[in-house]
Amino acid sequence: MIGLDWGTTSLRAYRLDQAGAVLDKRESKSGILSVKPGGFPDELHNIAKDWLEAGEKLVVIAGMAGSKQGWAEAPYLACPVSVAEIARATLPVPFPATRVRLVPGLKARDADGMPEVMRGEETQILGVLDDLPEQEATLCLPGSHSKWVRVRAGRILDFSTHMTGEVFAALSAHTILARSLHRSAAHHPGAFARGLDRAGQGGGLLHQLFGLRSLSLFDAMPQLEAASYLSGLLIGHEVAAALEAGVAPPVHLVGAEALTLRYGAALAAFGIPSVTQTEDAAARGLFQIGVAIDAARITAC
Amino acid sequence: MIGLDWGTTSLRAYRLDQAGAVLDKRESKSGILSVKPGGFPDELHNIAKDWLEAGEKLVVIAGMAGSKQGWAEAPYLACPVSVAEIARATLPVPFPATRVRLVPGLKARDADGMPEVMRGEETQILGVLDDLPEQEATLCLPGSHSKWVRVRAGRILDFSTHMTGEVFAALSAHTILARSLHRSAAHHPGAFARGLDRAGQGGGLLHQLFGLRSLSLFDAMPQLEAASYLSGLLIGHEVAAALEAGVAPPVHLVGAEALTLRYGAALAAFGIPSVTQTEDAAARGLFQIGVAIDAARITAC
């Protein structure tokens, strides 16, 4: 089968064998923003022509390609959900000679009843779900929009999003803090730890953010350390809020190593153990959905 | 005398009589960023030529003109301070026939020992200080960098800054939230109140910010209301943190009406009374400094 993780600004394609092993892997910048209206079938051909010609009969596509702005809209599915339910809710789209199905995003409610959404991350969650014990576990997928996910017995129960990565990007580029930091500086673990510590102090995040400016004015914050400090400050607030909402340790971190290392350090600072999932979780999740589609004998299109 | 509030992107000039009444008032966009090196004396001539020719003998300049990037650096003065101490710390700069003095910024430490700075706002504080009782009072100057200030018996004790206004601007223009809101929409008190309410719930600010995106995806947040909701969310977090740090009610709000109304509503939602200072506090503060300079018989330059 073929699995696609088709996001806003990037496209990742996997050819998977019958055991889920990755036979081949491709990446392009043809995110959905760069695809012309009606251009999705052509784009799929572009990236997977030889795989399709070799006879692959199922393409599973996750991510923003299933959104209103994508190929077609696969409506958000309400949690809790299992992989079988996600597979049943995949949306078939017309394509010659091959079944192509779009994975729905997920929706949930937070503890205050506010709506929550994800689209794309659900495949990464499904990719690690099989390895987890039956009892409740907590997953954290750090990123622009970090997800904290409760799972139990093969089901995604609910989740909570924190806009941490995107807030970091906006503050470090578009506020007065930009003058205090080098955005391309190497990660500085000591400064990151100082930011984490600061997050645990008083005054609130909006006050602590200005403190970075003040430190810098008094030459108490080297430009090469300031971005790591800001990262620690924001991740510290995110992790503190997630822990207050409740987690089932150890927290399972899924994502790019540069981020999972930081979140692991932040959790450790709160005394919470974590485990990092280093495999290609998205490909595994796409495979799980493909297996579930076949198991349900869904043969549309 | 002449008083100047000379900021990064704007310049306000006041001609004041011997009782502090504003005789004339001018405004220009010649903020310090637009002044060439060595160009400050010329710029002062530009905006106040006739006042100077009429014989004004003292010019007091507050704001970023006294910073490293300005005319000359009037170093930050450590709190607590009185108007007399600020006047004594003003920095004379060479100018023909007239005394010109730069007002120093102020520095302080927050409850955790972190540094704090202001430059320019101190004149607004001095402008209302005379009207306050001897016992401790709390001032709030909302803005890009909101200041919460403790004063007592004519002295500025310390203060705390929240980057609320600038964070609002960065998030509403440079994150995914930009798609959910009209930045130029009229203030919507109902949506502002919803944002305030939300700030009091769980999950933390970084989570609640993403909630605005989710609400918008589910058509539960009209674009014309989203900016007010975001404003309520951020101001709610700021006010909650300020109240936790401690205030002496009623809070005295000093600033533009569009903002003092919002902060008054936010404080009221927490059950805290507020009083709004509607006068031109900066001009009054510049006058107080001028009087104190004369009282101290500072006659440099």
A237 or A297, greater pLDDT: A237
B68-99: pLDDT as tens digits: 999 999 999 999 999 999 999 999 999 999 99
Nearest to B202 among A209, A217, A245 (CB): A245
Among residues of chain A, what percentage have pLDDT more than 70?
Answer: 98
Mutate: best of A208, A210, A229, A235, partner B, most B CBs <10 A: A210
What does the alpha-carbon distance between residue B142 and residue B281 come to, in Å, rounded to a whole number? 13
Long-range contacts of B130-136 (CB under 8 A, 24+ apart): B130/B154, B130/B288, B131/B277, B132/B252, B135/B248, B136/B248
Q: Determine whether the interchain pair B164/A204 forms a contact, defined as Cβ–Cβ distance below 8 Å.
A: no
Q: Half-sphere exposure (CA, 13 Å, Cβ side) for A189?
A: 7
- Is the complex ipTM more than 0.90? yes
Within 8 A by CB and 6+ apart from B112, the residues are: A198, A201, A202, A203
How sure is the predictor about A51, in pLDDT bands with cuts at 50, 70 and 90?
very high
Chain A residue numbers touching B180 (CB-CB < 8 A) = none
Mutate: best of B33, B141, B214, partner A, most A CBs <10 A: B214
Chain B residue numbers touching A69 (CB-CB < 8 A) = none
Q: Determine whether the interchain pair B210/A240 forms a contact, defined as Cβ–Cβ distance below 8 Å.
A: no
Chain A residue numbers touching B173 (CB-CB < 8 A) = 174
Distance from CA of residue B58 to its chain's centroid? 24
Nearest CA in chain B to A221: B115
Q: Determine whether the interchain pair B206/A237 forms a contact, defined as Cβ–Cβ distance below 8 Å.
A: yes
**pLDDT in the model for residue B299:** 54
A262-291: pLDDT as tens digits: 999 999 999 999 999 866 899 999 999 999
B28-50: pLDDT as tens digits: 999 999 999 999 999 999 999 99
Q: How many CB pairs under 8 A join A and B?
A: 163
How sure is the predictor about A301, in pLDDT bands with cuts at 50, 70 and 90?
very low
B92-142: pLDDT as tens digits: 999 999 999 999 999 999 989 999 999 999 999 999 998 898 999 999 999
Nearest to A164 among B145, B206, B215 (CB): B206
Answer whether A301's CB lies under 8 Å from A109's CB: no
For residue A163, pLDDT beyond 70? yes
Nearest to A163 among B174, B206, B220 (CB): B206
**pLDDT in the model for residue B301:** 47
Answer whether A254's CB lies under 8 Å from A125's CB: yes
Nearest CA in chain A to B68: A217
Residue B63 phi/psi, 5-degree rounding, is 105, -165
Q: Determine whether the interchain pair A210/B145 forms a contact, defined as Cβ–Cβ distance below 8 Å.
A: yes
B192-212: pLDDT as tens digits: 999 999 999 999 999 999 999
How far apart are the CA of A276 and the nearest CA of chain B, in angstroms? 23
Answer whether A192's CB lies under 8 Å from A262's CB: yes
Nearest to A162 among B114, B166, B210 (CB): B210
Q: Determine whether the interchain pair B161/A214 forms a contact, defined as Cβ–Cβ distance below 8 Å.
A: yes
Q: Which amino acid is present at A44?
A: L
Q: Determine whether the interchain pair A174/B176 forms a contact, defined as Cβ–Cβ distance below 8 Å.
A: no
For residue A299, pLDDT beyond 60? no
For residue A298, pLDDT beyond 60? no
Within 8 A by CB and 6+ apart from B34, the residues are: B9
Chain A residue numbers touching B215 (CB-CB < 8 A) = 114-115
3-state secondary structure chain B: CEEEEECCCCEEEEEECCCCCEEEEEEECCCHHHCCCCCHHHHHHHHHHHHHHCCCCEEEEECHHHCCCCCCCCCCEECCEEHHHHHHCCEEECCCCCEEEECCCEEEECCCCCEEEECCHHHHHHHHHCCCCCCCEEEEECCCCEEEEEEECCEEEEEEEECHHHHHHHHHHHCHHHHHCCCCCCCCHHHHHHHHHHHCCCCCHHHHHHHHHHHHHCCCCCHHHHHHHHHHHHHHHHHHHHHHHCCCCCEEEECCHHHHHHHHHHHHHCCCCEEEECCCHHHHHHHHHHHHHHHCCCCCC
Chain B residue numbers touching A206 (CB-CB < 8 A) = 162-164, 167, 205, 234, 237-238, 241
What does the alpha-carbon distance between residue A13 and residue A168 come to, in Å, rounded to a whole number? 29
Chain A residue numbers touching B208 (CB-CB < 8 A) = 114
**pLDDT in the model for residue B183:** 87
**pLDDT in the model for residue B279:** 66
How far apart are the CA of A160 and the nearest CA of chain B, in angstroms? 7
A301 or A222, greater pLDDT: A222
Cα torsion A245, A248, A249, A251: sign: negative
Report field, pTM of the whole predicted structure over 0.90: yes
Nearest to B163 among A174, A209, A240 (CB): A209
Token readout for A191 is 């400064």
The DSSP call for residue A264 is H
Token readout for A188 is 């500085």
